[in-house]
Amino acid sequence: MSFSIAGKTAIITGAANGIGLAVARHFAEAGANVMCADLDEAALVSNFQKAREEEDDTSNLRYFAGDLRERLTIANLISATIDAFDTVDILVNASRQFALTDLSDPEDDSVDTLLEQNMGTALKLSQAVARRMIKQAEDQEEGPVGTIINLSSIMANRTREGLMGYSISAAAVNQMTRSLALALAPNRIRVNAVALGSVMSASMQVALRENPEWRDQIAACTPLGKIGNPSDLTHVIQFLASDASAFITGDILTVDGGRSLLDPVEALAH
């Protein structure tokens, strides 16, 4: 079974920085057509210009800036992808938001915000992309139709002060993944998630700048003794996007450096 994604078209959200950007670069290098989606247009433009300077051919790269909480924006993203590459075969919901929850503050809306961004937006986009995948495979009687990969967190199964909103949103992503996998299996669309431990995402970088002592705490709670890099995830996500994982759906694949083996909750994981 091949790990190849060459020639397939992927929409990757959160692709302006961090994990999403790493996945987008890796997929493009692996020969996929990549639509990079994010709200941060300036970062998308900067990344695209840098790619053009470094690569001889960037014809398999496009970018789309917009607020994917809006259904019209989602429709425009899919249309732009079809205009550029004709099909959509892979969706990677890599856009995630992190925030602490202050239960003592009656105006704290982090739970609602994180649920909307980390689960609600991914759900709306997944439904829209799945409809497109089904439509473009109307005459295809067998074989894979598409695959959706969500990013989650091991905090879905843990409780830590200040992380209620983030934990709830991660748990929601896990259940959304399982539910979509069941609903879309008859259409030969697979849906899986990657539950991260502590990986150097854009939000992790911000958190460590504000709380530098967390770095040593996280390393001490991780058997492999380090915070993961976005590149530690890219091959895992490629595996889930490829035909090598053709009989895997509804799975939450943990990538956390062994953190779950110890189950420590005193240090941040996101």
Q: Which amino acid is at 243?
A: D
Is residue 169 pLDDT above 90, yes or no? yes
Report how far residue 194's alpha carbon sits from residue 149's, in angstroms, rounded to the nearest whole number. Answer: 7
| 203 belongs to a structural domain | no
d(CA 38, CA 31): 21
**Is residue 199 within 8 Å of 219, Cβ to Cβ?**
no
How far is it, in rounded angstroms, from Cα 68 to Cα 86? 21
Say what percent of the chain tops pLDDT 70. 95
For residue 13, the model assigns a pLDDT of 98
221 within domain boundaries: no
In the chain, the percentage of residues whose pLDDT exceeds 90 is 64
pLDDT at 100 over 80: no
More confidently predicted of 94 and 55: 94
Q: Is residue 252 part of a domain?
A: yes
Question: CA angle, corner 156, sides to 150 and 161, nearest 5?
Answer: 135
pTM: 0.92
pLDDT (tens digit, 9 = 90+) per residue, 221-264?
889 998 888 889 999 999 999 999 999 999 999 999 998 887 65
The pLDDT score that the predictor gives to residue 164 is 84
Mean pLDDT, the chain, rounded, equals 90
Instruction: Quote the pLDDT of residue 58.
Output: 86
Say if residues 232 and 226 touch (Cβ distance below 8 Å).
Answer: no
Q: In this model, does residue 127 exceed pLDDT 70?
A: yes
Q: Which tens digits make up the pLDDT trace of 179-235? A: 999 999 999 999 999 999 888 877 778 878 888 888 888 888 889 998 888 889 999
> How far apart, in Å, are the Cα atoms of 245 and each of 4, 148, 221?
11, 12, 30
Residue with tokens 């495979």: 137
Question: Containing H/E element for 153?
Answer: strand 146-153
* Residue in the block written with tokens 């990657």: 194
CA–CA distance, 66 with 34 (Å, rounded to integer)? 16
pLDDT of residue 264: 54
Give pLDDT, residue 152: 96
Predicted local confidence at residue 269, as pLDDT: 56
Residue type, position 66, single letter: G
In the predicted structure, residue 7 carries a pLDDT above the cut 90: yes
Number of domains in the chain: 1
Residue 224 lies in a domain: no
For residue 11, pLDDT over 60 is answered with yes
CB 63 within 8 A of CB 85: no
- Give a yes or no: residue 270 inside a domain: no
Determine, yes or no, domain membership for 135. yes
- Is 164 in contact with 101 (CB distance < 8 Å)? yes
Residue 111: how many CA atoms within 13 Å on its side-chain side?
A: 10
CA distance 40 to 52: 19
What pLDDT sits at residue 141? 79
CATH number for the domain that contains residue 69: 3.40.50.720
pLDDT at 266: 56
Residue 210 lies in a domain: no
Domain with 46 in it = 9-197+230-262
Q: Is residue 243 part of a domain?
A: yes
